[in-house]
A = this chain, B = another copy of it.
Amino acid sequence: MSNNHFHVSDLGEKKLIKRIINKLDNYESSTGKKFFKHNIGDDAALININNWKNTKNAKRTLNNKDNDERYLVASSDLLIQSKHFPKQMSYFQMGQKAITVNVSDLAAMGSNPIGILISLAVPTDLKLTYFDEIIDGILDICYKYKIPLIGGDTNEADEIIISGTALGIVDTNNTLKKSGFSNGDYIAVTGEIGLASLGFEILKEENYKIIKNELKKGKIDQKIVDLAIEKALNPTAKINEGKILGKFASSATDITDGLNSELHELHESNNQTNKLDNLGLRIYENKLAKMPNFNGIVIISKILNKNPLDIILNIGEDFEILFTSNMDKNKIKNYYKEKYSNKNFDFYIIGDINETNNVEIEYLNGKIEKLTLKGYEHFNRKIND
């Protein structure tokens, strides 16, 4: 596609990234060197750090165990005020979210955070107190995730732009990738999905009025409205869950772009890695319906003239981890409990791996349909996706 009349919007996010990866391929074949491609991978870049030290002799001398080998994990995400921060989001929350989106990618790789760099651009006429609030939000959540702020820069811009790069470290054996699942594995998510995207809908000015009205009439539950808004404005990265899943999951990714899109990511990634198998992914509406707030999401979506499954499947922003595994659920939960002083890890099994080579959903009425990629496009993709 070299036609001069095309614009980036004609391709959309995924094709733009594919275009970049193709260019990397071309560079490699023209130079005859595997220079770029070997590092382009998953939710985050993986860099083999085992050769950084002069350990050639060490390896011969020592009885090295496999789990001595580690990767450096690196992931970048850029947020722009007008695109990623709803008007109701406080400056403190903007700072928090910029860290969370980056840490979430580390979580999806099963890695331990080691540091984050933030490039912060703000308008020159931004009030100093707001600047302070952004920084306070950044530091507050960095401390929560135990990820030190190690660098960055400041810039002036017409609106607030926060770009982050999170660095982590992970044992080679515990690295979560998008490929690797087997027939019969279950598909699960680390938390309820759909709430954050519902929250963004509720926060839209025209919708907020409708919701307030319905609340007055007692037709919807204040609790779920509050929860949805909370999830939209205060997302949390599942860093501890990711670390545990590194030991138990067969594949994983974080759900920033919607469950549907990420199911396709897993499918495509697995297809590329294991070209001969016919593995497919099926999710079940009746399993989604067991999530505690499913009915609430359905009711409010309908009030807002939205398809509830579209809210749940196609929007994202939940920052939960989608993963596959064949390990007993209680075993994982107990391991988590032991490791994190009796805290609960309530994940939801929503589907399974089959041999249809499709990404599909079974509706409540038993009908099975292929899930196609549609709806809301973030136009925010990672080269590593």
> Which of B13, B53, B121 contacts A154, CB < 8 Å?
B13
Any chain B CB within 8 A of the CB of A289? no
* Min CB gap A62→B, angstroms: 6
Choose one: B36, B151, B383; the contact of A39 (CB below 8 Å): B151
Q: Spell out A's residues near B (CB within 8 Å).
A: 1-11, 13, 16-17, 19-20, 23-24, 27, 31, 35-36, 39-40, 44-45, 47, 49-50, 52-55, 57-58, 61-62, 65, 68, 70, 72, 74-78, 80, 82-83, 114-115, 117-119, 121-129, 131-132, 135-136, 139, 142-143, 148-158, 161, 163, 165, 167, 169, 379-385
Indicate if the CB atoms of A165 and B53 lie closer than 8 Å: no
Separation of A11 and B1 alpha carbons in the complex (Å):
48
Query: Is the pair A10, B128 in contact by a Cβ cutoff of 8 Å?
Result: yes
A8 touches B129 (CB 8 A): no
Closest chain B CB from A121 CB (angstroms): 6
State whether A40 and B151 are in contact (beta carbons under 8 Å apart), knowing that A4-B129, A20-B135, A68-B54 are contacts in the complex.
yes
* A8 contacts B153, C-beta separation under 8 Å: no
Residues of B with C-beta under 8 A to A20: 135, 154
With contacts A152-B382, A155-B379 taken as known, whether A6 is within 8 angstroms of B167 at the C-beta atoms is: no
> Given B76, B121, B126, which contacts A80 in the complex, CB threshold below 8 Å?
B121
Cβ distance A67 to chain B, nearest Cβ, rounded Å: 8
Cβ–Cβ contact B154 & A76, under 8 A: no
- Report yes or no: A83 in contact with B151, Cβ–Cβ below 8 A: no
How many Å from the CB of A63 to the closest CB on chain B? 9
The answer to whether B383 touches A153 (Cβ under 8 A) is yes
B119 & A8 in contact (Cβ 8 Å cutoff) = no
Q: Which residues of B are found within 8 Å of A75, using beta-carbon distances?
A: 117, 151
Q: Are A128 and B62 in contact (CB under 8 A)?
A: no
Taking CB atoms, residues of chain B closer than 8 Å to A156 are 83, 379-380
List B contacts of A47 (CB < 8 A): 114-115, 150, 167
A128–B9 CA distance with the chains assembled, in angstroms: 9
